[in-house]
């Protein structure tokens, strides 16, 4: 196996390779405005850095969000294109789940915690997790989006990974690492899920609200009035 994992749902552009036993390469860059310019060269560098080529890849895993629309589409389009070009499977992973998996493996991680990422508009994407012997379990249902002040009391009382507690420290009991999705964690989570025979997500964006940009409802006249 040579699994390529990538995520562009948070502030980081992140790429990793997993050989079925461990993460063998990983690179990340935090720049929320340059996902498109950064991702493809990063993939090439990570693959070449371990003496491999793209034709050696056997699968791709990609974070499907929730996340900002523009950055998220970059990762999904890139993953889908690689899958089609190389004729290999592409697996979708909830980006908050991948971040939770990484957080649960940090030293001293609590068993009950939240992942809260930046949703912009002064909001956070969030979900609650519990660490188990088999990994992490999302126990709050589907990820949600809201203003920090609108979080349920039981969520506000928990420590949180992601950029949410960094941006809104008053809304969470403590801040956990990591701040952004690490592709190594996403890769490990994907391999774990596949080994357990569990179904992953389709490669479709997990949007929790409508985009800021909306198409015009009527054509504007170019003639002078």
- pLDDT for the residue 218: 45
Are the C-beta atoms of residues 25 and 16 closer than 8 Å to each other?
yes
**Residue matched to tokens 């502030």:** 11
pLDDT at 210: 53
CA angle 197, 193, 199 (to 5 degrees): 60
What are the percentages of helix, strand and coil residues in the chain, rounded to 5? 30, 25, 40
**Alpha-carbon span 154 to 164, nearest angstrom:** 16
Whole-number pLDDT of residue 32:
64
CA dist 15 → 4, 61, 79, 139 (Å): 7, 10, 11, 27
- pTM, rounded to two decimals: 0.90
CA distances from 130 to 100, 124, 143 (A): 9, 19, 14
In the three-class reduction of DSSP (H, G, I as helix; E, B as strand; rest coil), residue 131 is classed as strand
DSSP-derived letter for residue 221 is P
**Structure confidence by residue, pLDDT tens digits, 105-162:** 999 999 999 999 999 999 999 999 999 988 899 999 999 999 999 999 999 999 999 9
Q: CA–CA separation, 8 vs 188, rounded Å?
A: 17
CA separation for the pair 119, 146 (Å, rounded): 9
* DSSP secondary structure string for all residues of 151-176: S-HHHHTS-EESSHHHH-GGGSS-B-
Domains and CATH numbers, the chain: 3-95+181-195 (3.30.420.40), 96-171 (3.30.420.40)
Q: What pLDDT score was predicted for residue 212?
A: 46
> Digits of tens for pLDDT over the chain (225 positions)?
999 999 999 989 999 999 999 999 999 999 767 778 899 999 999 999 999 999 999 999 999 999 988 889 999 999 999 999 999 999 999 999 999 999 999 999 999 999 999 999 999 999 999 999 888 999 999 999 999 999 999 999 999 999 999 999 999 999 999 999 999 999 999 999 999 999 999 999 998 865 544 444 445 444 454
Looking at the DSSP bridge assignments, the partners of residue 3 are 18, 59
Number of other CB atoms surrounding residue 131 within 10 Å: 18
Q: How far apart are CA 9 and CA 32, in angstroms?
A: 9
Which pLDDT value is given to residue 214?
45
């Amino acid at each position: 196996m040579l699994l390529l994992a990538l995520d562009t749902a948070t502030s980081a552009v992140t790429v990793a390779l997993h050989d079925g036993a461990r993460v063998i390469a990983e690179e990340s860059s935090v720049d929320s405005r340059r996902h498109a310019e950064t991702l493809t060269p990063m993939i090439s560098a990570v693959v070449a850095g371990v003496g491999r080529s793209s034709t050696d890849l056997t699968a791709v895993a990609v974070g499907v969000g929730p996340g900002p629309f523009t950055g998220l589409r970059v990762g999904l389009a890139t993953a889908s294109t690689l899958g089609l070009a190389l004729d290999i499977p592409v697996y979708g992973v909830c980006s908050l789940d991948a971040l939770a998996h990484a957080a649960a493996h940090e030293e001293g991680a609590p068993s009950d915690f939240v992942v809260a990422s930046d949703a912009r508009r002064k909001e956070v994407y969030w979900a609650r997790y519990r660490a188990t012997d088999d990994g992490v379990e999302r126990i709050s249902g589907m990820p949600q989006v809201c203003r920090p002040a609108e979080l349920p009391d039981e969520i506000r009382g928990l420590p949180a990974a992601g950029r949410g507690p960094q941006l809104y420290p008053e809304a969470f009991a403590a801040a956990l690492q990591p701040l952004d999705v690490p592709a190594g964690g996403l890769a490990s989570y994907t391999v774990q899920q596949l080994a357990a025979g569990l179904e992953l997500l389709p490669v479709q964006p997990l949007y929790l609200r409508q985009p800021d940009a909306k198409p015009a409802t009527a054509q504007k006249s170019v003639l002078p009035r």
